Structure 1
Amino acid sequence: MKTNVEGTYCLLEVARAHSIRFHHVSTDEVFWRSCLGRPVRFREDSPYRPGSPYAASKASSDLLVRAWARTYGLPVSISNCCNNYGLLQNEEKFIPAAIESIRCGRCPRLYGDGKNVRDWIHVNDHARAVWTILNEGKLGETYLIGANCERSNLEVLQTILEAMGKPRDFIDWVSDRPGHDRGYAIDASKLRCELGWASIHDDFESGLQEVIAAQTAMNKRDLAD
């Protein structure tokens, strides 16, 4: 709440005081789906239905940005992106945490039944999308950023396990998180059609191999030092 609600408010006030263009990076979690199976893809006009405290705080920050634009005329844009992966991601996140556990000989943890579906995008594609919005996007508009790469958490973990030479059932099954959403997917048609953006890193499995190799090499260097 301090970061996403109070923090956004503080940044908006600074931007207003100095007449700064404000781009707000948000999440697909504001839309929320609880259904099983492959989720319907969200669009810019999809209703907000945050199902967790984190998602509610992010939805609040989106609404604050729109309110500052309408009330004070602040030049803003918003993007809602799906799950990122890539080099140097914080090790608390799902993919690097799994890689580190396997590297250390521990079974990686998986919440619930592992069937929660996420849309995955390489961080470089996300960064390019934000840069495109900053340079080509219309003020006051929202753009969804996604790569059409839906995978369940179980599918992602089993891909990592196979890539690192472990059996597909080398998993530490743990109780599901409270309010754990079942699925997200993004329809990025507006970003693609209006601004000409397109993802480059479309081979998710190859991208995971790159992350595994880089994280393993980095950890070896740390041990050597």
Structure 2
Amino acid sequence: MVPARSSFTMAALLISWCQLCLDGSNALAQGYTNLISDASLSQWTKADGKPVDGGWVLEPGGVLHLSGKGGNLISRDEFGDFDLWFEYRISEKGNNGIKYRVKKYGNSLLGLEYQIQDDQAFPKMAEKHRTASLYDLFVPSQPFYVRDYKPLSDYNVGRIVVQNGRVRHWMNGRLIIDEYFGTPRWMEAVANSKFRNHEGFGQNTVGRLMLTDHNSEVWLRNVFIRRLDGCSQI
């Protein structure tokens, strides 16, 4: 059964966020892995499996900067249930995203996506294409799930939790997406999306992460992940 959502749940999740917020000083102690820990970006490859070269550069301070054509990056490891934290900054009129449970459908590598975008530059953009949405599938899951925008010069904090058939997206401490795989609501969303012709889209229980290159400048830092397979619900 899918639990009912409420404002009480929202408040509880905000408290949980405040208690669990990560940075480089405490993430490793809590069992998280730093996904951009070395200049060679050894935990990532290009989409064709080759080492990362050009475009994506790890700058001083642990900032991963996409400034040119670097192509999509794919994690070497696959993840099932996980808790992913990241800080991001997008350029003016920029568009990017982080995909997860990525797998091959025919000749295409596809996955679910946490959208990252300069929303203010695209006021007519569809709601399900805005920042922190589950791209092309879901708008914010409740009317009171409201985005907290920061200036383009500031970093935002994103979080994706996939666990026990449930997916959640946060933006700067605010829950935006809270959905369940395989429900009638989920199947309808897929049927009305660009992914409708990819059988079983989003139903795989493991997959890789993808840092996308949509020809926009983007900065990422403090990218930490913890596996949740077999863990208590968070």
**TM-score under structure 1 length normalisation:** 0.27
Of Structure 1 and Structure 2, the greater strand share is in 2
Of Structure 1 and Structure 2, the greater helix share is in 1
- Which of structures 1 and 2 has the bigger CA Rg? 1
**TM-score under structure 2 length normalisation:** 0.26
